[in-house]
Amino acid sequence: MLEEAVLRLVPIIPSEDIYVVTGRHLVESIREACVGVPDENVIAEPCKRNTTGCLAYAAAHILAKYSEPTDDLSSADIQSRFSMAVVTADPAILDSESFRETISSALSAAEKHNALGVVGIMPSRPDTGYGYISVSDKPLAGCAGRVAVYPVTHFHEKPSREKAEEFIESGRCFWNSGMFFWSLSTFMRELEAAQPAMARAVIAMAEAMRLGKHDKVAEIFEGMENISIDYALMERARNVVMARADFAWDDVGAWPALERTQPRDENGNVIVGNPVAVECSDCIIYDATAPSKHDMAVAVIGARDLVVVVTDDAVLVVPKDRAQDVRRAVAELKRRNAKQI
């Protein structure tokens, strides 16, 4: 999927200008996978600092790499030379041409209106696993192309099912795709207003990168708050626009996505591996145990609308409509310092 994400971009962005930002433990694996970018474009964050840290790190890297040695990196004129398109690798996207047209429109509108841009997905169901975006009822005037771009009025956190149904009925709410677009000058201006310490950290990291002071970069990065870009910036930004996606999009990062991508048996179950399912209906049963390691059998009896996942070191049982709550179990395992995390 990472390779597919790169290939979708290459027709409009040269591979040498595409970067994969990841954790240190994945750098070599991604390079060995040959996903379509130069090895030096797979860059590692010093530690985990959520999506704000990731994008701040990427912005600093771009400023350091593409600026001149004598440039004042805090200058808006210098920052305005560069733009960022932030795309994700986890959704399934089949219409690459429409995808490229949409993100080009989002970036163009963001640059033209000095705004932060985002891509919104038309909801196909009242999903509680996504954030939602409310937009104005009238699109922005003067945006080229057939993709509609709207002023954003509000960001909504992951809602209850009832609230998600209200969002869909309104006709003006979209799923937040997690894809963002901006000129660096706009990003820095909005970040300075919303999170001034983080804005200063971007410039400090860029200056340290330019001088090759990697320990200093790590020190600055580790001092950043661990917070998502939605909470840190997008919900507080003063000028945000949304390009409406006309391509099919499916975030396959949660277990219920298997129902949309895998065949079902005669009882509506998605069965992966070799589990035993007795009188089960509309379940997702995923047996990823390695037969060579032990002789464990997996059996599910009389269940309905459950996700059951068994791996060599973990078992998950959760109602399908609460699959997003797996993060709560992960948080508790981390609190216990579980060796599986």
> What stretches of the chain show up as alpha helix (H) in DSSP?
2-9, 27-33, 50-66, 76-79, 96-112, 161-170, 184-194, 196-210, 214-222, 229, 258-261, 326-335
Is residue 299 located within the same domain as residue 245? no
Full domain range(s) for residue 134: 46-251
Is residue 228 located within the same domain as residue 283? no
Tell which residue, 176, 194, 188, has the closest CA to residue 76. 188
Contacts of 262 (CB under 8 A, 6+ apart): 270, 272
Is residue 64 located within the same domain as residue 172? yes
Q: Global pTM?
A: 0.85
Exposed / middle / buried, residue 74 (Cβ in 10 Å: 0-12, 13-18, 19+): middle
Contacts of 251 (CB under 8 A, 6+ apart): 90, 91, 129, 130, 257
Is residue 183 located within the same domain as residue 66? yes
Residue where a domain terminates, one of 211, 235, 251: 251
Residue where a domain terminates, one of 251, 267, 291: 251
- pLDDT averaged over the chain? 93
Is residue 239 located within the same domain as residue 325? no
Tell which residue, 57, 155, 146, 63, has the closest CA to residue 108. 146
In the chain, how many domains are there? 2
Q: Per residue of the chain (341 residues), what is the pLDDT tens digit? A: 999 999 999 999 999 999 999 999 999 999 999 999 999 999 999 999 999 999 999 999 999 999 999 999 999 999 999 999 999 998 989 899 999 999 999 999 999 999 999 999 999 888 888 899 999 989 998 776 689 999 999 999 889 889 999 999 999 999 999 999 999 999 999 999 999 999 999 999 999 999 999 999 999 999 999 999 999 999 999 999 999 998 989 888 789 889 988 899 999 999 999 999 999 999 999 999 877 656 789 999 999 999 999 998 999 999 998 888 898 999 999 999 999 87
Is residue 237 located within the same domain as residue 100? yes
Residues 336 and 332: their CA atoms lie apart, in Å, by: 6
Q: Would 12 be classed as within a structural domain? A: no
Task: Specify the pLDDT at position 285.
Answer: 97
Task: Specify the pLDDT at position 257.
Answer: 87
pLDDT in tens, 47-78: 999 999 999 999 999 999 999 999 999 999 99
Q: Would 39 be classed as within a structural domain? A: no
Is residue 113 located within the same domain as residue 219? yes
Is residue 58 located within the same domain as residue 147? yes
Q: Would 193 be classed as within a structural domain? A: yes
- Which CATH number fits the domain that encloses residue 162? 3.90.550.10
Q: Which two tokens stand for residue 222?
A: 């580790």
